[in-house]
Structure 1
Amino acid sequence: MKVAIIGGTGFVGANITQRLVTAGHVPRLLVRPGSESKVPQPESCEIVHGDVGDLSALENCLTGVDAAIYLIGILREFPAQGITFEALQHQGVLDTIVAAQKLGVDRFLLMSANGVHAEGTAYQRTKYQAEQALKASSLRWTIFRPSVIFGDPEGRMEFCSQLKKDIIDSPMPAPLFYAGILPTDAGGFELAPVSVSDVADAFVLALSEPRTESQTYSLCGPERLSWKAILTTIAAAAGKTKLMLPAPVAAIRATAAVLDRFSWFPISRDQIKMLMEGNVCSENDSFARLGLTPTRFGVDQLDYL
């Protein structure tokens, strides 16, 4: 099977590309000029140069393929640089849907995110709008909603390595965020980290399984872990111990309100909001429905740190 991948040079995309090659498929990647070195196993891939905003390049990428996978997602937007949630997480999906329908590519897999909803942050809203557009199309669709994803980044951005860099390696104490006035349950909000290998397996499986069509899968790891437990595990994997102190989230938000327009500031107001919401699956049977067993989050899985 020949599979077009939009977003194939990123962290998740590289893992899916490698899984596709292993499974005997031929990935065709839309690659921005200058990013050719990010293509995994380039000898086994087809490359179309261009950006998701270039409709002709998008159509070239989708011409003659059997399925399309859309993976582009950003955690922060910088409108002055043309990097926006609307352009990359919504309009890009709309354009890919139109191109797929025009070219007769009727199988479409979309990576959304756990916790998206119509009234959420700009990140959540645009992901949700993309889901709705795909569901309203004539395509045979499958949507995946991963929680925070961990795994060897191989030089790319990844959840645990980013936390190690920004928090564990910092000389400052690790912040245990809490809402309100008193530090009750500081750092107690929960996430369900999911392995990038498991996410990649789910995507590749869906290509050959008709039962996954018209289905949405929330992909969470097998455990709900507190923010404090996750930081403790990352520190242990890095061979460190880390002082952790309660941190009022209101103060962090106030600082971000002034500084999050700068790329060097590590977190935005919306990211803080989503973090405090937690990120666990309300229904945790997706891997069972797929016939897969998710990987536990622990020190042994973080040796890349």
Structure 2
Amino acid sequence: MKVAVIGGTGFVGFHLVRHLIAAGHLPRLLVRPGSEGKIERIADCEIVHGHVGDSATLTDCLAGADAVIYLIGILREFPARGITFEALQHQGVVDTIAAAQATGVGRFLLMSANGIRADGTPYQCTKYQAELALKASVLRWTIFRPSVIFGDPQGRMEFCSQLKKDIIDSPLPAPLFFKGLLPTGAGTFELAPVSVEDVAKAFVIALAEPRTESQTYSLCGPQRYTWKAILSTIAAASGKTKLMAPAPALAVQAVAGVFDRYSWFPISRDQIQMLMEGNVCTENDSFARLGLTPTPFGVDQLQYL
């Protein structure tokens, strides 16, 4: 099967392309000029050069494909550089849907995100709107909503390696965020990290099994961990111990409000808000529905750090 992949040079895309090739599929990647070096097995892929914002390029990428996978997602936007949630997480999906319909590609797999909602942050809202657009189309769709994803980053941005760089390796105490004025429950909000390998496997399974059509799968790891436990695990995997201290979320958000427009500042206001909301699956049967056993999160799985 020839599979057009939009976002195939990113963190999830790198691992997904490996799994697509191993399953006998031919990935057809939309690649920005100059990013060819990010492709591990370029000889086993077809390459279309261009940008997701160019409708003609999208049409070229999807022409002759049997399915399309849309992976593009960003955690922060920088409008001055043309990097926005609306352009990449919503309009890009809308344009790819149009290209799929124009070229006769009937199958569309979308990577969304766990915890999205209509009244959330711009990240959450644009992911939500993209889902609505896909569900309203005539395409045979499948949507995946992963929690925070961990795994070997291969030089790309990844949840645990980013926390190691910004928090564990910092000389400052690790922040245990809390709401309000009193540090009650500092760092106790929960996340359910999911392995990038498991996410990639889920996409490959969906391509082969019609029962996954018109289905949404929330992909969370098998256990919930507090923010404090996640930081402790990353520190241990890095061969370190880490001092931690309560940090009022409102104060940190106020500082981020001044500096998060700059890429050197490690976190945005909205990222803090979404962290504090937690990220776990209310119904954690998606892997069972797919016939997969999710990988646990732990020191043994973080050797790449």
**TM-score of Structure 1 vs Structure 2, range by shorter chain:** over 0.9
Structure 2 match to 1:164: 164
1:130 is aligned to 2:130: yes
Structure 2 match to 1:17: 17
Superposed CA offset, 1:29-55 (max 9, x none): 000000000012111000000000111
Residue 247 of structure 2 aligns to a residue in which SS? strand
Structure 2 match to 1:86: 86
Structure 1 match to 2:77: 77
Report the Cα distance in structure 1 between the residues aligned to 2:266 and 2:29, rounded to whole angstroms: 30
Residue 157 of structure 1 aligns to a residue in which SS? coil
Structure 2 match to 1:296: 296
Count residues in correspondence: 305
Cα shift at 1:185:
1.1
Structure 1 match to 2:229: 229
Structure 2 match to 1:258: 258
Structure 1 match to 2:2: 2
Structure 2 match to 1:268: 268
Letter of the aligned partner of 1:40 in structure 2?
Answer: E
Structure 2 match to 1:283: 283
Report the Cα distance in structure 1 between the residues aligned to 2:288 and 2:69, rounded to whole angstroms: 22
1:40 is aligned to 2:40: yes
Cα shift at 1:182:
1.0
Structure 2 match to 1:141: 141
Q: Which moved more, 1:37-46 or 1:108-117?
A: 37-46
Residue 20 of structure 2 aligns to a residue in which SS? helix
1:9, 1:40 within 8 Å by CA — same for their partners in 2? Answer: no
Letter of the aligned partner of 1:233 in structure 2?
Answer: T
Superposed CA offset, 1:54-76 (max 9, x none): 11111110000000000000000
1:238 is aligned to 2:234: no
Residue 187 of structure 2 aligns to a residue in which SS? coil
Letter of the aligned partner of 2:206 in structure 1?
Answer: A
Matches within 5 A, 1:173-192: 173-192=173-192
1:205 is aligned to 2:205: yes
Letter of the aligned partner of 2:31 in structure 1?
Answer: V
Report the Cα distance in structure 2 between the residues aligned to 1:248 and 1:54, rounded to whole angstroms: 43
Report the Cα distance in structure 2 between the residues aligned to 1:282 and 1:41, rounded to whole angstroms: 37
Report the Cα distance in structure 2 between the residues aligned to 1:250 and 1:144, rounded to whole angstroms: 31
Residue 119 of structure 2 aligns to a residue in which SS? coil
Segments of 5+ residues of structure 1 without an aligned counterpart are none
Residue 97 of structure 1 aligns to a residue in which SS? helix
Letter of the aligned partner of 1:176 in structure 2?
Answer: L
Residue 265 of structure 2 aligns to a residue in which SS? coil
Letter of the aligned partner of 1:276 in structure 2?
Answer: M
Letter of the aligned partner of 2:289 in structure 1?
Answer: R
> If the length of structure 2 is used for normalisation, what is the TM-score?
1.00
Letter of the aligned partner of 2:96 in structure 1?
Answer: T
Report the Cα distance in structure 2 between the residues aligned to 1:53 and 1:103, rounded to whole angstroms: 17
Segments of 5+ residues of structure 2 without an aligned counterpart are none
Q: Over aligned residues, Cα RMSD in angstroms?
A: 0.4
Report the Cα distance in structure 2 between the residues aligned to 1:291 and 1:3, rounded to whole angstroms: 22
User: How much identity, in percent, do the aligned residues show?
Assistant: 78
Superposed CA offset, 1:104-160 (max 9, x none): 000000000000010000000000000000000000000000000000001000000
Cα shift at 1:92:
0.3
1:27 is aligned to 2:31: no
Structure 2 match to 1:106: 106
Residue 246 of structure 2 aligns to a residue in which SS? strand
Residue 257 of structure 1 aligns to a residue in which SS? helix
Report the Cα distance in structure 1 between the residues aligned to 2:138 and 2:202, rounded to whole angstroms: 22
Superposed CA offset, 1:213-246 (max 9, x none): 0000000000010000000000000000000011
